[in-house]
Amino acid sequence: MLNSLREPESEAVHLGFQEQYVSAFKWMLLARTVEDKIGALWRAGKVAGGCYLGRGQEAISVAVGIMLKPGDTFGPLIRDQAGRLAFGEPLFDILRTYLGKKTGPTKGRDGNVHRGRPRERIYPMISHLGALVSVVAGALMARRMQGDTNFVGATSIGDGGTSTGSFHEGFNMAAVERLPLVLTVTNNQYAYSTPNERQFACHDLVDRAIGYGVEGYSMDGTDLKECLEVAAHAVRRARSGFGPQMIVASCVRLSGHAEHDDGSYMEKTLLESPIGRDCIKVAHSFLVEQGWADESTVQEWRLNAKMDVEDVLQRVQREPAPVPEEEDWNAFSSHLIDPDLSA
């Protein structure tokens, strides 16, 4: 941990940590595998629109996702595939959404990363950054009003997203209400092509935690062990009534902003720095070092992830596309409104 405001309690490698680590690693592999597949489909012209992948950010994403329990709320952002899977989003959802299938959660009405399952408390993002912070906060307010206890909400944002007014309003409100909200800021050094120095002037984004009056942590987002420890701590603090938690995880985006962007503007030296490591490689080495898995086991996990992705893809590709003639062109859900009048 580089710069935490309040040191979390020392996290010994506790009983069950190995299991959690391995499990997180497998989700990371699955996330990377399915995103590589989506990228390939995009390059093959099978995906309409943009293609936004989370390469290099799997560790921090999975760490938060895996700490959430059923009943918690998760508002993932664009590079949260690993966290989505760990929280319980089926592999089907990403493929159906990217391929625009009628069977998907948005039925082809929205695509790529704008998917979710609101009823299962996975909130779909909109493209306007920061907008999800207050939505997750509102859901938590509601739970509290309804007398629920022992719940947290988590949402993510990037270094660029912290510059929006919406982010500020939402996070400030969550702090005012002392909501059990875990906010992860994944600082991957670039907002699309804009580097940190054109985005914010503070030394570290975690400095803002003081301004909001919340607990903050700054850490290496490429180290799964650290990510799991900090996320566990932050989620536990939030759940125990210590108010919003701000985790700033530094890493480097290992691809462009989207698949149409080669990221050629990125400083090459960043990849040589400690936060430029590929979190999956880091975790892989750690597993072998710890003796928790040997190479062949890791290889087997990779193969399993590939087979899982292939299997789901084969099925999803056979599923129907939405049909314009069958589309219900109605943006109102209310049965109280006469549809004849809504045109």
Minimum distance from CB of 219 to other proteins (Å)? 27
Question: Nearer to other proteins by C-beta: 49 or 263?
Answer: 49
CA distance 201 to 105: 39
Minimum distance from CB of 111 to other proteins (Å)? 10
Minimum distance from CB of 5 to other proteins (Å)? 22
Based on its alpha-carbon atoms, the radius of gyration of the chain, rounded to whole angstroms, reads 20
Q: What is the total residue count of the chain?
A: 343
Binding-site ranges for other proteins (CB under 8 A): 105-107, 109-110, 114, 116, 118-119, 123-124, 126, 128, 131-143, 145-146, 165-166, 169-170, 172-173, 176, 330-338, 340-343
Minimum distance from CB of 65 to other proteins (Å)? 19
Question: Nearer to other proteins by C-beta: 173 or 271?
Answer: 173
Question: Nearer to other proteins by C-beta: 21 or 151?
Answer: 151
Question: Nearer to other proteins by C-beta: 131 or 270?
Answer: 131
Minimum distance from CB of 154 to other proteins (Å)? 13
Question: Nearer to other proteins by C-beta: 185 or 254?
Answer: 185
Minimum distance from CB of 177 to other proteins (Å)? 9
Q: What is the 3-state secondary structure (H, E, C) of the chain?
A: CCCCCCCCCCCCCCCCHHHHHHHHHHHHHHHHHHHHHHHHHHHCCCCCCCCCCCCCCHHHHHHHHHHCCECEEEECCCCCHHHHHHHCCCHHHHHHHHCCCCCCCCCCCCCCCCCCEHHHCECCCCCCCCHHHHHHHHHHHHHHHCCCCCCCEEEEEECCHHHCHHHHHHHHHHHHCCCCEEEEEEECCEECCEEHHHCCCCCCCCHHHHHHCCEEEEEECCCHHHHHHHHHHHHHHHHCCCCCEEEEEECCCCCCCCCCCCCCCCCHHHHHCHHHCCHHHHHHHHHHHHCCCCHHHHHHHHHHHHHHHHHHHHHHHCCCCCCHHHCCCCCCCCCCCCHHHCC
Question: Nearer to other proteins by C-beta: 106 or 218?
Answer: 106
Question: Nearer to other proteins by C-beta: 137 or 316?
Answer: 137
Q: List phi, psi (to 5°) of 154.
A: -135, 145
Minimum distance from CB of 71 to other proteins (Å)? 11
Question: Nearer to other proteins by C-beta: 146 or 264?
Answer: 146
Nearest to 52 by CA among 40, 65, 35: 35
Minimum distance from CB of 133 to other proteins (Å)? 7
